[in-house]
Amino acid sequence: MPTELPPFLPFLIGALLTIATRGRLRTAVMLATPVVGGVCLLGIDSGALHQIQLLGYTLTPVRVDELSMLFGYLFHVGAFIAILYAVHIKDTLQHVVAMIYAASALGAVFAGDLISFFLFWELLTVSSVFLVWARRTPQAIRAGFRYLILQIGSGVTLLAGILIHVHATGDISMGHIGLDTPGGWLIMLALGLKCGFPMLHMWLTDAYPESTPTGAVFLCMFTTKCAIYALTRSFAGADPLIYIGTAMTFFPIFFAVIENDLRRVLAYSMINQLGFMVCGIGLGTALALNGAVSHAFNDVLFKGLLFMAMGAVMTMTGRTKASDLGGLYKSMPQTATLCIIGAASISAIPLFCGFVSKSMIMQSALNEGHMVVWFFLLFASVGVLEHAGIKIPFFAFFAHDSGLRPTEPPANMRLAMLLAAILCIVIGTAPTATLYPLLPFAAEYHPYDATHVITQLQLLMFGGLAVFWMMRTGRYPTEERAINIDFDWLYRRILPSGISSAEHVLEPAWSSLKRGAARPLNGLIALLFRYHGPGGALARTWPTGSMVIWVTVLLAVFVVAYYL
Amino acid sequence: MNQTPEKKRYLDDPQNVGRLWRGFVLACALVAAIDLLGLLEIVYHRHIAFFAEGLPGFYAAWGFVAIAALIFLAKQLRRLVMRPQDYYREPGDAD
């Protein structure tokens, strides 16, 4: 059935219907939206579907090709899982903004020109912040504002980049841009902010853990993946991305080891996974790009699954901190099992989906001769095992018994997690029948050969051995009820305390300046007051008679002067 | 509150945890052994992209050392970045 329906439209209609409906009808509408959207997407023709002439430019709001289709499928699957996970809550705000958020993500990956892309990019920002605010705690409100400011910063940078780029090239199509022009650099910076480039990443670790349990699932699926899509489209093969990506895989793992809030551990882990993708985009070969986009695909599934598992823990216990949790497997065995599947997938254990995508990027780094990069990536891969593969399930569900005995989460949440877990395993075991045919670039890859499986098993098992050995011998860092400062320290601590200490320094200076300046000024004011004040000589009311006298005197003086 | 005492789980017994631990160590040794055989072209043919991969037990050693280094460095990082929960002096911080 060929359709010409823009892929974002079903979700916008779904959002409107969500406002109008309640109860079971709303649940049905929300679940039907990604299904209907997905069916329409299957029948969509490739090429530029819609074009609009505006101010002399040809806008292409919908352009369909293999790369956008991959993300199109991904966002429909992700949206279905996340919606299923969230349908039990009775919060119209969250449901509606989540639908608009999914629509804007779809709009962004199908946008054929930079102006349409920019509009959807901004809509992503505006809709997603409500998923943070919807938690309605003071921390969430503040984190939401910080998130909004940085995201709008990304939008403004993108707009500036687009203006410069279009002015220089006259081309508004959403295609390869590269780093030859300053516009290109600005656009990359804007995209980089949304996918967590080092030192631009702090909004992610700040805001995502403050969002609602269900909101975090949507958040981890769309914004950053749109940025990965756009980088793949416009900056494939840009050398700086190799090193930026490597840095992204590397630094968050240290923070993840010592972080107490498990959803914040996942946020750090997310930057690490995005780093692998960015590195793949920088390498720029067909295999590396396939690795980057397929890893984005899998990341939505396994990171979504992990955020869902932690969201389930949070929903049932109200806690997410490692120091408060532990022993939950006794009363939440299903959630624990599903969480372990997510953890195995992100750790790239053979037969789970992370294995079949991340290895493409690693292999490309070797093929291109980037040995140092490869060593760093290998280090970061083991790091993933530590913080996401072991720490998350271990501290939530095992470790020391917290005494908490929550029940399993609602059925819809478990079903959503189950769906994600099944996809993780199906893609992991049969990639050539599922994920690989969807990949947009032409490259052969076979993840399952004996060398690769054995070496990967060695890497992970000995990494695990080290973790458990350190735990058993007391070398592992204990969970501390504390926070760790990150780059957001600059504007959460240094800037405010800088301003207040500047106030302390400047306040006395200002008062003495006022005092010093006041003395001559007060004298002047007193002088003026003396003559012009109510009783002043120059402010007195003069009788008409004195006026006549003075006129007479003046005339007399004039007559005398004339005769002389 | 009168609750029936919770049934004892497999993992509640330290002896069982010890058994699991020994089993895991054994499994690691097994994988390393297969790898050594692979290097000698027994069991399977091993592809090597560059020299380090060909060293015996390279991946095992890298995995172990990387985690040990990661955790050691992360503990040092704690000295630099760890702060009390109310550090940002915002209402609700200590929750």
Model pLDDT for residues A415-426, shown as the tens digit of each residue: 999 999 999 999
Tokens 């400062």 locate to A485
Q: What is the pLDDT of residue B46?
A: 65
d(CA A154, CA A144): 15
ipTM over 0.95: no
Residues of B in contact with A458 (CB under 8 A): 31-32, 35, 57, 59-60, 63
Q: What is the pLDDT of residue A530?
A: 85
Q: What is the pLDDT of residue B7?
A: 78
Residues of A in contact with B46 (CB under 8 A): 450-451
Of the candidates A248, A244, A293, A237, the one whose C-alpha atom is nearest the C-alpha of residue A270 is A248
**What are the residue ranges of helices labelled H in chain B?**
14-39, 51-54, 58-81
How far does the CA of residue A383 sit from the closest CA of chain B (Å)? 7
Residues of A in contact with B59 (CB under 8 A): 455-456, 458-459, 462
**What's the one-letter identity of residue A468?**
F
CB contact under 8 A, A386 and B71: yes
Please, what sign has the CA dihedral across residues A100, A103, A108, A113? negative
Q: What is the pLDDT of residue B43?
A: 62
User: Which residue in chain A has the smallest CA separation from B30?
Assistant: A458
Beta strands in A413-495 (DSSP E): 483-484
- Chain B CB within 8 Å of residue A249 CB: no
d(CA A256, CA A276): 16
User: Which residue in chain B has the smallest CA separation from A139?
Assistant: B92
CB contact under 8 A, B87 and A493: yes
User: Which residue in chain B has the smallest CA separation from A210?
Assistant: B93
Q: Which positions 41-70 of B are in contact with A (Cβ < 8 Å)?
A: 43-50, 53, 57, 59-68, 70
Spatial contact of A258 and B78, defined as CB atoms under 8 Å apart: yes
Least-confidence region, from A306-320, A366-380, A530-544:
A530-544
d(CA A348, CA A272): 13
DSSP string, A188-244: HHHHHHHTT-TTS-HHHHHHGGGS-TTHHHHHHHTHHHHHHHHHHHHHTT-HHHHHH
> pLDDT tens across A435-486, in order?
999 999 988 899 998 888 888 999 999 999 999 999 999 888 888 888 888 8
- What contacts A556, CB < 8 A, 6 or more positions away? none
Strand A483-484 relative to strand B82-83: parallel, antiparallel, unpaired? antiparallel
CB contact under 8 A, B70 and A257: yes
Of the candidates A338, A350, A530, the one whose C-alpha atom is nearest the C-alpha of residue A417 is A338
The token pair at B13 is 């017994």
Query: Which of B67, B75, B91 comes nearest A466 by C-beta?
Result: B67
Least-confidence region, from A56-70, A109-123, A294-308, B42-56:
B42-56
Of the candidates A350, A255, A354, the one whose C-alpha atom is nearest the C-alpha of residue A304 is A354
pLDDT over 90 for what percent of chain A?
74
d(CA A274, CA A268): 10
Of the candidates B57, B55, B52, B50, the one whose C-alpha atom is nearest the C-alpha of residue B31 is B57
Q: What is the pLDDT of residue A564?
A: 79
d(CA A11, CA A304): 20
Query: Which of B71, B81, B90 comes nearest A484 by C-beta?
Result: B81
> pLDDT tens across A245-298, in order?
999 999 999 999 999 999 999 999 999 999 999 999 999 999 999 999 999 999
- The whole-model pTM stands at 0.89
Mean pLDDT per block of 10 residues along chain B (95 residues) reads: 68 88 93 78 66 78 93 91 84 54
Tokens 């006794």 locate to A330
> pLDDT tens across A121-171, in order?
999 999 999 999 999 999 999 999 999 999 999 999 999 999 999 999 988
User: Dihedrals φ, ψ of A499, to 5°?
Assistant: -65, -40
Own/partner long-range contacts of A122-129 (Cβ < 8 Å, ≥24 apart): A122/A155, A124/A222, A124/A223, A124/A226, A125/A151, A125/A152, A125/A154, A125/A155, A127/A97, A127/A98, A127/A100, A127/A101, A128/A97, A128/A101, A128/A218, A128/A219, A128/A222, A128/A223
Which candidate in B46, B62, B86, B90 is best for mutational testing of the A interface (most A CBs within 10 A)? B62
Q: Average pLDDT in the A24-44 region?
A: 93
Find the helix or strand (DSSP H, E) in which A139 lies: helix A138-169
- What contacts A143, CB < 8 A, 6 or more positions away? A132, A206, A207, A210
Q: Average pLDDT in the A65-75 region?
A: 94
- What's the residue count for chain B? 95
Of the candidates A115, A120, A118, A121, the one whose C-alpha atom is nearest the C-alpha of residue A55 is A115
Spatial contact of A488 and A411, defined as CB atoms under 8 Å apart: no
β-bridge mates for residue B65, sequence order: none
- Chain B CB within 8 Å of residue A453 CB: no
Query: Which of B47, B68, B85 comes nearest A481 by C-beta?
Result: B85
**What are the residue ranges of helices labelled H in A284-332?**
286-317
CB contact under 8 A, B63 and A460: yes
pLDDT, chain A, mean: 92
d(CA A293, CA A223): 14
Band the pLDDT of A497: cuts 50, 70, 90.
confident
User: Which residue in chain A has the smallest CA separation from B43?
Assistant: A450
Burial class (CB in 10 A: 0-12, 13-18, 19+), A77: buried
Which candidate in B37, B67, B83 is best for mutational testing of the A interface (most A CBs within 10 A)? B67
- Chain B CB within 8 Å of residue A261 CB: no
Query: Which of B32, B66, B81 comes nearest A382 by C-beta?
Result: B66
Q: What is the pLDDT of residue B1?
A: 44
- Chain B CB within 8 Å of residue A492 CB: yes
d(CA A107, CA A109): 6
Half-sphere exposure in the Cβ direction for A328 (13 Å, CA): 32
Half-sphere exposure in the Cβ direction for A126 (13 Å, CA): 10
